[in-house]
């Protein structure tokens, strides 16, 4: 399962840029305490190809272990994502309003958080989502969903049935695929020659320089910056026509791409800073964060102090196992029905319903990417003497 060659270009030279020890699978939430505690751990490293500079996970876990019925991520449970994707739909509908033949395909549509807006606006839509739980929620909204991962073969089959798409959307999914060149070829094959592809990916630069180290877990097989994403798309015959930064997931890139007639093969072209520079010092910064966080938790912990995790995101599993912070946590509070009553992977920490759980003395904000939202909502908790430990980008107590 150790990666021997680059998943983007096949290059043989992979350099380790971050090592966070070992961790269980971050989105597998089981109902049994013992089974949770005994969950298999896998090495958690990030490596970078020295040929195309694509950053990637060092150990590749097979799809069938990652996308099980215990997969717990439903996008629509986070209020700020609802807002994000509603604004995204408005933006995309305005930008593509001149196109005829309005088929919109979303790859990795999760519970339909974005695609539903296109359906409501009168577009023909098709969702592709291999995670069965979120896919059935999307289907329950009346959306047509194919419960499979995208491959070139699937894209060819779908275009024969539905025609080519004017707009192909792929958000937070290019990180998750096992065969990247085949996936990108599939995206290209779905598109009309004049159609647009919009991709959102978590930004490798924001992750490394903005200390989103907990975004490293096995579901995320690839980490893109503008240059390495552009290169991977170019190899697949897709050209970026615009790039913008968006705030989701601790910092993401949104790119719009179109088909180029002939796939291009070439070397890495200069960007700034270079992807190789982005990784410099990451290990030392990660180690400093770990020590500071554990010291803070140690100072706050005590027999009469309850410490809970605010949220049970996938990234909490990386944070807790990498730092050892799970030893301080009494329970986790989350709003996702599919996670409530289950356990944080690899621990005996139960996930309680955020609406009804007891109020702890301290929250470790594991869903730190929603901090502004959380502070706005939890004014009474803070006013009553409650404390937040925000672990990243640098640990602080508020």
Q: In this structure, are residues 280 and 242 in contact, taking their beta carbons and an 8 Å threshold?
A: no
Q: Which is nearer to ligand JHZ, 167 or 207 (CB)?
A: 207
Q: Say whether residue 313 binds ligand JHZ (CB under 6 A).
A: yes
Q: Which is nearer to Zn ion, 55 or 131 (CB)?
A: 55
* x-or-dash string of contact with ligand JHZ, 60-99, rule CB under 6 A: -------------x---xx---------------------
Residue 172 in 3-state DSSP? coil
Please, what is the minimum distance in Å from the beta carbon of residue 344 to ligand JHZ? 11
What is d(CA 158, CA 37) in angstroms, rounded to the nearest whole number? 41
Q: Say whether residue 182 binds ligand JHZ (CB under 6 A).
A: no
Q: Which does 279 bind (CB under 5 to 8 A by kind): ligand JHZ, Zn ion, none?
A: none
Q: Which does 11 bind (CB under 5 to 8 A by kind): Zn ion, ligand JHZ, none?
A: Zn ion
Give the number of residues written for the chain: 398
How many C-beta atoms lie closer than 10 Å to residue 31's C-beta? Answer: 10
Q: Say whether residue 317 binds ligand JHZ (CB under 6 A).
A: no
Q: In this structure, are residues 330 and 297 in contact, taking their beta carbons and an 8 Å threshold?
A: no
Q: By CB under 6 A, name the one of 185, 216, 314, 352 that touches ligand JHZ.
A: 314
* x-or-dash string of contact with ligand JHZ, 125-154, rule CB under 6 A: ------------------------------
What is d(CA 357, CA 181) in angstroms, rounded to the nearest whole number? 45
What is d(CA 365, CA 271) in angstroms, rounded to the nearest whole number? 34
Q: Say whether residue 8 binds Zn ion (CB under 5 A).
A: yes
Q: Which is nearer to Zn ion, 56 or 96 (CB)?
A: 56
Please, what is the minimum distance in Å from the beta carbon of residue 311 to ligand JHZ? 3
Q: Say whether residue 9 binds Zn ion (CB under 5 A).
A: yes
Q: Say whether residue 49 binds Zn ion (CB under 5 A).
A: yes
Q: By CB under 6 A, name the one of 374, 389, 390, 392 that touches ligand JHZ.
A: 374
Q: Which residues sit opposite 258 in a β-bridge? A: 239
Q: Which does 77 bind (CB under 5 to 8 A by kind): Zn ion, ligand JHZ, none?
A: ligand JHZ
Q: By CB under 6 A, name the one of 188, 192, 235, 315 that touches ligand JHZ.
A: 315
Q: Say whether residue 57 binds ligand JHZ (CB under 6 A).
A: no
145-146 and 124-128: which strand pairing? parallel
14-23 and 222-223: which strand pairing? unpaired
Q: By CB under 5 A, name the one of 3, 11, 243, 353 that touches Zn ion.
A: 11
- For residue 292, count CB atoms less than 10 angstroms from its CB and return exposed for 0-12, middle for 13-18, buried for 19 or more: middle
Q: Say whether residue 50 binds Zn ion (CB under 5 A).
A: no
Distances in Å between the Cα of 377 and the Cα atoms of 275, 372, 373, 381, 383 are 37, 9, 6, 9, 12
- CA dihedral (218, 198, 89, 193) in degrees, to 10, reads -140
Q: Take residue 130 and report the two structure tokens written for it.
A: 């291999």
What is d(CA 281, CA 213) in angstroms, rounded to the nearest whole number? 13
Q: Say whether residue 219 binds ligand JHZ (CB under 6 A).
A: yes
What is d(CA 315, CA 364) in angstroms, rounded to the nearest whole number? 13
Q: What are the residues binding ligand JHZ (CB under 6 A)?
A: 27, 73, 77-78, 172, 219, 249, 311-315, 334-336, 339, 354, 367, 369-370, 373-374
């Amino acid at each position: 399962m150790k990666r021997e060659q680059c998943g983007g270009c096949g290059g043989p030279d992979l350099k380790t840029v971050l090592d966070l020890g070992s961790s269980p699978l971050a989105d597998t939430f089981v109902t049994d305490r013992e089974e949770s505690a005994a969950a298999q751990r896998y090495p958690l490293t990030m490596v970078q190809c020295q040929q195309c500079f694509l950053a990637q996970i060092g150990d590749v876990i097979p799809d069938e272990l990652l996308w099980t019925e215990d997969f717990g991520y439903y996008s629509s449970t986070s209020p700020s994502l609802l807002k994000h994707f509603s604004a995204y739909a408005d933006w995309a509908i305005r930008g593509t309003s001149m196109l005829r033949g309005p088929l919109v395909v979303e790859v990795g549509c999760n519970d339909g958080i974005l695609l539903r807006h296109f359906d409501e606006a009168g577009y023909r839509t098709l969702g592709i989502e291999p995670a069965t739980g979120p896919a059935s929620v999307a289907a329950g909204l009346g959306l047509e969903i194919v419960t499979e991962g995208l491959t070139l073969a699937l894209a060819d089959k779908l275009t024969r049935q539905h025609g080519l798409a004017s707009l192909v959307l792929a958000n937070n999914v290019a990180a998750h695929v096992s065969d990247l060149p085949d996936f990108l070829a599939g995206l290209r094959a779905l598109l009309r020659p004049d159609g647009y592809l919009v991709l959102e990916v978590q930004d490798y630069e924001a992750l490394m320089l903005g200390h989103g180290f907990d975004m490293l877990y096995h579901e995320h097989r690839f980490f893109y910056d503008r240059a390495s994403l552009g290169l991977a798309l170019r190899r697949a015959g897709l050209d970026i026509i615009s790039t913008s930064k968006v705030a989701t997931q601790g910092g993401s890139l949104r790119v719009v791409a179109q088909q180029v007639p002939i796939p291009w093969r070439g070397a890495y072209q200069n960007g700034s800073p270079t992807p190789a520079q982005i990784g410099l010092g990451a290990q030392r910064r990660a180690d400093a964060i770990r020590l500071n966080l554990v010291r803070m938790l140690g100072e706050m912990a005590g027999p009469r102090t309850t410490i809970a995790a605010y949220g049970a995101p996938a990234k909490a599993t990386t944070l807790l196992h990498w730092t050892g912070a799970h030893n301080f946590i009494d329970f986790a509070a989350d709003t996702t029905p599919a996670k409530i009553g289950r356990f944080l992977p690899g621990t005996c920490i139960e996930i309680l319903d955020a609406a009804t759980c007891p109020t702890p003395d301290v929250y470790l904000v594991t869903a730190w990417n929603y901090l502004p939202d959380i502070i706005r909502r939890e004014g009474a908790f803070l006013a009553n003497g409650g404390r937040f430990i925000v672990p990243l980008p640098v640990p602080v107590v508020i």
